[in-house]
Amino acid sequence: MIAARALRLALLAAGTAGGLSGAAYGLLNGQSRYARWVIGPPANDPLRADGIHLPSGIGPVLRRELVDDVEPLEFAVLGDSAAAGLGVDLPAELPGVRLARGLAEELDRPVELTTHAIVGTTSQELAAQVDAALVRPPELVLIIIGANDVTSMLPVSACADLLGQAVRRLVEAGVTVVVGTCPDLGAIRPIPQPLRSIARHWSLALGRAQRRVVDAAGGRALPLADLLSPEFLARPGEFFSPDRYHPSAAGYEAATTILLPAMCAAIGEWEGGPLPPAPIRSEAAEARRPTSRIVARLNRRLHRRADS
């Protein structure tokens, strides 16, 4: 989890690539401890509401309750705490449940939700979730992963390759795969500057690499950082849960509003008109792209303090 691992990868990137002085590195290390303290550990495990959800919005229900033995669409969710829905108060607010019920309404068909996502998962653990999903391959899989890769000191290219392998295995088994790429960690206000800019840079780089490998493996990638971070930055009190890191019910609703049409289109069941192309890189993300000047300014500020 981001809080527990204290953004160590962002610190490492800053210290090696940016040429930080010892004083600047110490400041960032202190900022990471502060962020860990402010965010804190999760108060509870994610809620669960796996099972069959109906077009009427009712669910989960038992298979024997289905009318005329209608076969539900099998839908699985893989990934980390964002996929699992950590941060909501009610089962109906879980992203998996929102998507299952949205799919059921669009398809006019029951949808059976199975959640394999686990809090704290990195791309290194994703293969185990794929193994579990392939015991009985679903028709549709959603994967959301990446934030813990940024905080676990895992290289961008290695994490992207692991995601690509997972998507390829699912696609080869006949599963349609949609991936929500790494969110923008720079939207998390408890992370102070300049550490927040470094975390943003790393998460956006991972998101871009994930998008390339997912497309190459036959999946469909949605750049969550580009599509959602402007809203999260503008409305943090509404879109983040009380820990100010995990999304709130409103934040998950914003994400599922973007994901649902793409998932329906991926399985050939979208009737809401042409979907707009996902941005290559949004203007908002480009405007926030950090440069080495951040590090230089930080070092100058610290040296001025030391000389005074």
Which pLDDT tens digit goes with each residue over 242-288?
A: 776 788 889 999 999 999 999 999 999 877 666 656 555 544 444 44
Residue 303 a catalytic site member? no
Q: What is the pLDDT of residue 80?
A: 93
Cβ proximity of 145 and 123 under 8 Å: yes
Averaged pLDDT for residues 155-162: 95
Considering the chain, what percentage of its residues have pLDDT values greater than 90? 46
How far apart are alpha carbons 252 and 269 in whole angstroms?
22
Exposed/middle/buried for residue 139 (C-beta within 10 Å: 0-12, 13-18, 19+): middle
Considering the chain, what percentage of its residues have pLDDT values greater than 70? 69
How far apart are alpha carbons 51 and 59 in whole angstroms?
7
Q: What is the pLDDT of residue 278?
A: 59
How would you label 152-191 residue by residue, b for 16+ Cβ within 10 Å and e otherwise? bebebeebbebbbbbbbbbbeeebbbbbbbbbbbbbbbbb
Catalytic one among 81, 152, 248, 282?
81
Q: Please state which of the ranges 44-48, 97-101, 176-180, 287-291 shows the lowest mean pLDDT.
A: 287-291
Residue 201 a catalytic site member? no
Please indicate whether residue 73 or residue 232 has the higher confidence score (pLDDT). 73
CA-closest candidate to residue 36, choices 124, 187, 153, 151: 151
The total number of structural domains in the chain stands at 1
Measured over the CA atoms of residue 91, residue 48, residue 171 and residue 66, the dihedral's sign is negative
Averaged pLDDT for residues 103-131: 95
- The CATH number of the domain holding residue 180 is 3.40.50.1110
Q: Please state which of the ranges 66-80, 220-234, 274-288 shows the lowest mean pLDDT.
A: 274-288
Catalytic one among 53, 197, 246, 282?
246
Q: Please state which of the ranges 3-12, 71-80, 125-134, 264-273 shows the lowest mean pLDDT.
A: 3-12
Catalytic one among 184, 243, 248, 282?
243
Residue 89 a catalytic site member? no
Domain span at residue 259? 2-307
